[in-house]
Amino acid sequence: MTLRQLALQALVMPDPATKVRAVRALWADVDALALDVNAVLPEPAGVPGRPARPILVAPKDVPARSPFTPEGRAALLHAIAHIEFNAINLALDAVWRFPGLPPDYYRDWLRVAAEEAEHHTLLADHLASMGHAYGDFPGHDGLWLMTWRTREDFIARMALVPRTLEARGLDATPPIQAKLRRAGDLRAVEILDVILRDEVGHVAIGNRWYRWACAREGFDPLALYPQLVARHQAPPLRPPLNREARLRAGFSEAELAYLESPDGL
């Protein structure tokens, strides 16, 4: 099987631990695997594969996640573990779904999948040390919903998943770390350091391929972005932005000025 076929096979696996092992094996063998960039793969049933739990609810129905009680801290970390599990799926989806792209694109997104698998594992292990498991708390489906909405629009996928929804993690992580530090959970702070470092690279990959696609199609990336936000109903940003992390992830000053404007927020 080719790399993209194996990515699809991993995507439909419902068990998180099995999916993590499959992604690790794929990334370890990436240089040896055949890659057919032009194959148009049929979509099977069961995309994405995920376990019966957590129960999925509307974002407004996800319980409060104060880190200053053991249960609240577990719920907060579970929410992040849920994001990271969905991020494995969105990265695998980016690998298999879109044909005709440069080989580096598929390698980039498989690396993202492997790093998201490590993030989910770190958080799941930490939850276990607290007496909880992934699936113990409800979650929402916002990240996968945008992945699904952009399944037929490659430029929109790059614009609205890595460099919009995932980029929100760059803004949200430092305030969460500050709360966890006050709550005394230094292991969680360390895990989020790893996640923040890697997510800068993931957002940079989104920026790279968004700009590449815009150049190929003759679009102005800055002018196109608000059109895609409106077309696919992307959620609004939550200020303040983590400017330093976003600059390292490849956002320009012009893009940040737009995002910080009333129109952008």
Domain that holds residue 90: 3-45+65-260
In a domain, 55, yes or no: no
| 97-112 mean pLDDT | 98
Confidence band for 15, pLDDT divided at 50, 70 and 90 = very high
Asked if residue 134 is part of any domain, the answer here is yes
What is the structure's pLDDT at 83?
96
What integer pLDDT is reported at residue 213 of this predicted model?
Answer: 98
219 belongs to a structural domain: yes
Does residue 136 lie within any of the structural domains? yes
Return the pLDDT at 63.
Answer: 74
Neighbours of 192 (CB within 10 A): 25
Contacts of residue 262, defined as CB under 8 A and 6 or more positions apart, other chains included, come to none
Q: What is the pLDDT of residue 115?
A: 98
Would 56 be classed as within a structural domain? Answer: no
Please give the structure tokens belonging to residue 228: 């895609």
d(CA 46, CA 48): 6
Structure-token pair, residue 147: 């992945």
How many structural domains comprise the chain? Answer: 1
In a domain, 163, yes or no: yes
Instruction: Specify the CATH number for the domain of residue 129.
Output: 1.20.1260
Distance of alpha carbon 229 from alpha carbon 213, whole angstroms: 16
- Per-residue pLDDT, averaged over 183-187, amounts to 97
SS3 assignment, position 73? helix
For residue 52, being part of any structural domain is answered with no
The two three-digit tokens of residue 234, written as one number: 């992307």
pLDDT tens across 205-241, in order?
999 999 999 999 999 999 999 999 999 999 888 889 9
Q: pTM for this structure? A: 0.97
